[in-house]
Chains A and B, each alone.
Chain A
Amino acid sequence: MNDDLIYLDYAASTPIDPRVAEYLLDCRHTLFANPSSNHIAGRESRAGIAHAASQLSALLNVDPRTLIWTSGATESDNLGIAGGARYRAHRGKHLVTMPTEHKAVTDVFRMLEKQGFEVTWLEPDENGYLDPATFAAALRADTQLASIMYVNNETGVIQDIEAIGSVCREHDVLFHVDAAQAVGKIPIDLRALPVDLLSLTGHKFYGPKGIGALYLADRPGCHVEPILFGGGQQRQIRPGTLPADLICGLGLAAEIAASSIDSDLRHLVELRDTLWAGIRDIAGVLVNGDLEGGFPGILNVSVDNVEGESLLLELEPICVATGSACNSQSQEPSYVLRALGRSDLLAQSAIRFSLGRPTRREDVEIAARRYREAVARLRDLAPGAAA
């Protein structure tokens, strides 16, 4: 990687923790056997996976048997939402979500709409929050599943999962939470939270890519139909040979996160505040989301009279995102920011700075200075600039 670059795109992906990388490599050599095999080597792979499940379950405060391994958050979202909706389809076909969810959620709901389900799309307020009362009002007698993300991947807004989940429990609605941006970053206690299904992925909290999990609560009526077929693994909910090395890597990443989550959050608050202090007085700059209640690892800002793609290039070698990284090949303004009421031009100028454990104070100070310089230069280039 280029030595000059400053990586501020941790919401898109985190580098693997060196301890996790070392452990994963070791497991790749020692736990190569198929964990479904009953010989000694297979049992060793199974034991490694069981240990990882205990590490992840400790982070989430759940029973390890409630965890289904997947290839990542996208698959977990697909399995939780499509599998949950289909499992409960005989009771009703009304579903609830928000347009500000990740594509891995919204596209599943759009697919279900084509298959005969009816979806209510709840709009956020101007800061990105969903009012639990608004959510409650949207539920109907035939509502069977709702999906609301924990931490928004573009804005860092944290939804009131406890209040929304409580409404779901009152109405016996399956509640799925896309927690890809939350697990390992903010404390989550699933014994206390009324959540039925929760998606996570390893590479968002310094674990390996290609491995994730779906939490499936152990309570009556909470189940999913499989979306993959071809084996009996994982109680036939998600068949396929389990990658013991990746799972072990995710397990260690979870253990490390559990021990560092408080210090990580303090670090991120300090960095975010430093970054914002360095740019807040730029004329026309505004925060997309909520500084007070949002996840401190994400600072999403728009600025008027600046073109977003040019801003991104002008900021190089600082690695940041415009809108969702998963959608960054598109030049369309972020649908999440449009849902918050931002104009096309403001949404198109949005830059998401996302900070992580390895980010240094000098990194954000440089980023703030470069952002100021970039905005000033592009405004000076534009027609109407003072001669």
Chain B
Amino acid sequence: MSSDPYSPVVRDYFSKAPHAGDLADAVTVEIAEQGVRLRLAATEEDGRIRALRFRAWGCPHVIAACECFCVEYEGRPVQSFSGFQASDIMRILSVPVEKTGRILVLEDAVRSLGRVLCSDSAPQ
């Protein structure tokens, strides 16, 4: 059993985080809970996510989870956000169970972003 609290995937996502930043003309949501602050930004084209960016104030698992979300969800249908599960990210990153609350903040932000995107693209 490794004594390293961070999996290699967490270390990689945390150290590189190429999706950290902002997007022009994007839909954004911002949330602050559980000692975590997140901002997600998305652009959409023909019902699919064209690009995702994030900003985060939190522990390495939170930053890695945001990056992981961006990697996994770019190109997916907008509706897929409603099925986002924190548990999936936690499994990919081997996040310790005591940090569940922090990753749930990301789940809240993703679902909120999905709702905004869906309402923006709904027929007027």
Contacts and interface: CB of A to CB of B under 8 A. Distances in A.
B17 interface: yes
Contacts of B30: 383
Contacts of B20: 380-381
Interface residues of A, number: 14
A387 B24 CA distance: 10
Interface string A344-381: 00000000000000000000000000000000001011
B9 to A, nearest CB: 14
A307 interface: yes
Contacts of A331: 59
A227 interface: no
B56 A381 contact: yes
A384 B60 CA distance: 18
Nearest to A345: B35
A310 B59 contact: yes
Interface of chain A, helix or strand or loop or mixed?
Answer: loop
A382 interface: yes
B55 interface: yes
B37 A381 contact: no
A385 B54 CA distance: 11
Given A381-B17, A383-B37, A309 B60 contact: yes
B70 to A, nearest CB: 13
Contact of B63 (A381, A384, A387): A381
Interface in B1-45: 6, 11, 14, 17, 20-22, 30, 37-39
Contacts of A307: 57-59
B60 A382 contact: no
B55 A381 contact: yes
B22 A310 contact: no
Interface string A310-335: 10010000000000000000010000
B38 A383 contact: yes
A309 B62 CA distance: 11
Interface of A: 305, 307, 309-310, 313, 331, 378, 380-385, 387
Interface of B: 6, 11, 14, 17, 20-22, 30, 37-39, 55-60, 63
Given A310-B63, A313-B11, A383-B30, 17 more contacts: A307-B58, A307-B59, A309-B59, A310-B58, A310-B59, A310-B60, A313-B14, A313-B60, A381-B17, A382-B37, A382-B55, A383-B39, A383-B56, A383-B57, A385-B55, A387-B21, A387-B22
